[in-house]
Amino acid sequence: MEFSAEQIASLLHGEIEGAASTLVNTLAKIEEGKTGALSFLANPKYEEYIYTTESSICIVNKNFTASKPLPSTLTLIRVDDAYSCFAKLLELYNNLRKKTPKIETPSFIDSSASVSDSLFLGAFSYIGEHSKIGQNVVIMQHVVIGENVVVGDNTIIHPNVTIYHDCKIGSNCIVHAGTVIGSDGFGFAPNEEGEYQKVPQIGNVVIEDNVEIGANCAIDRATMGSTIIRKGVKIDNLCQIAHNVDVGMNSAMAAQVGIAGSAKIGQRVMIGGQAGISGHLHIADHTKIVAQSGIPSTVKKADTLMGSPGIPLDDFKKSYFGFRKLPFILNKLSELENELKELRKNQK
């Protein structure tokens, strides 16, 4: 589809500088712009590219002042916040690509399942007994939805996702390819012979509204009760969330985070990539955990933590400064020991 600068400016409440009739039919980064592309400039570090870009339209902040001549083929749309406006356009562009209702074949929907006429179901997907699928749901190819699963309105489930029995997915969620929701928690108890016996995992996973889960994540079902991912949580790729974990509203975690069983993560917690959180602890609201940190005990007060075990960021920086100087300190200590030996030798 094509859009004119006039149409885009109207949508964003922006001001046009150039030809209002300029047309675009794709989106591109400003450094990769080409004729017919729409780009944006928000970060001053990328300003150099606006003077050479081949994009037809560029969204800029109202206070942007060009320090060089702009390409004659470039039309500007000035807005209050270029980044958020471009994000709005990305969302619009994405909505235009949404699937229309359709049941591809071969696929399977159990006769006891409840689905709406607005469902898109990709080929080779399966919906089990007594499951309930909401309005405008998109279930892509090779998805398995077990029995008694609930999926809320406007949720998108990408290829090769598996949702085990009794799990609940809220509205406006996105689950990316390869993720498994509701697999058994890692529950084993050693017997008298030292052999591990499996503890049945009879709970479920509850994912509330507006949650996005990246590719190839695993969210384990509770031993009893529910593993809960609360409203607005964002989970990156390759994350592991164990049984009975509770992740608070609007928290976010980057790739390869691991959270052990029964940990309680507060609201608006930010967790960097490859961080590990031990089980049966609580992380206070608004805590920030730096990438590759390890959290072995409860965090009672919001702070920015780094290291393993995680300590306040300023303390970590001081400690790391000392750690970096250890070779120098050890060399000095060795020199002092040698000098002391020499003095003792001379005294004798």
Lowest mean pLDDT among 55-59, 154-158, 186-190, 297-301: 186-190
pTM above 0.75, yes or no: yes
CA-CA distance, 224 to 261, in Å (whole number)? 12
Same domain, 137 and 213: yes
Same domain, 179 and 261: yes
Same domain, 244 and 292: yes
Same domain, 37 and 158: no
Which tens digit of pLDDT belongs to each residue from 14-48? Answer: 999 999 999 999 999 999 999 999 999 999 999 99
39 is in which domain, residue-wise? 3-96
Q: What is the reported pLDDT for 326?
A: 85
Q: Catalytic: which of 243, 280, 282, 286?
A: 243
Q: What is the reported pLDDT for 323?
A: 80
pLDDT band at 255 (very low <50, low <70, confident <90, very high): very high
CA-CA distance, 167 to 246, in Å (whole number)? 15
286 in active site:
no
Q: What is the reported pLDDT for 132?
A: 98
Q: What is the reported pLDDT for 38?
A: 96
Same domain, 113 and 151: yes
Stretch 172-180: mean pLDDT, rounded? 98
Q: What is the CATH number of the domain that holds 80?
A: 3.40.1390.10
Q: What is the reported pLDDT for 91?
A: 85
Q: What is the CATH number of the domain that holds 127?
A: 2.160.10.10
Q: What is the reported pLDDT for 249?
A: 98
What total number of domains does the chain contain? Answer: 3
Task: Produce one character per residue of 202-218: b if its CB has 16 or more CB atoms within 10 Å, e if not.
Answer: ebbbbbbbbbbbbbebb
Q: Is 107 exposed, middle or buried (0-12, 13-18, 19+ CB in 10 A)?
A: middle
